[in-house]
Amino acid sequence: MHTNNGQLYALSYRLRSARDKKRSQKEDFEKRLIQLDQEEDRLRAEKHKLPWVPLSEPYQKGWKRYFILREDVKRSKHAGFYQSLLEKINTIQYSKDKAFKAKKRRKRRNVYEVKKQSIREFEQWEWDSPRLKLTEKEKMFFYREKRWCPNSKCIVIRYVYTEAWRFVLQIRPHMNTHVKMIDEDLEREIQRVKNYIEKNHLRYKIYKMTKGRSRHWYKHEGIKPKYQHPFKNMPLYAILDECAKEKTE
Closest CA to 64 of 174, 177, 167: 174
pLDDT above 90 coverage of the chain, percent: 55
Closest CA to 89 of 40, 44, 134: 134
Rounded distance, CA 134 to CA 52, Å? 30
pLDDT above 70 coverage of the chain, percent: 84
pLDDT: which is higher, 11 or 149: 149
Parallel, antiparallel, or unpaired for β 52-69 and 92-95? antiparallel
pLDDT: which is higher, 233 or 82: 82
pLDDT: which is higher, 220 or 249: 249
In this structure, are residues 102 and 92 in contact, taking their beta carbons and an 8 Å threshold? no
Tens of pLDDT along 189-227?
999 999 999 998 888 888 888 876 555 544 444 444 444
Mean pLDDT of the chain: 85
User: Within its chain, how far is the Cα of 68 from the centroid?
Assistant: 28
* 124, amino acid identity: Q
Q: Cβ of 43: how many Cβ atoms within 10 Å?
A: 19
Rounded distance, CA 159 to CA 139, Å? 9
> Mean pLDDT throughout 60-86?
95
The sign of the torsion formed by the CA atoms of 192, 196, 198, 202 equals: negative
Instruction: Label residue 152 by pLDDT band (50, 70, 90).
Output: confident
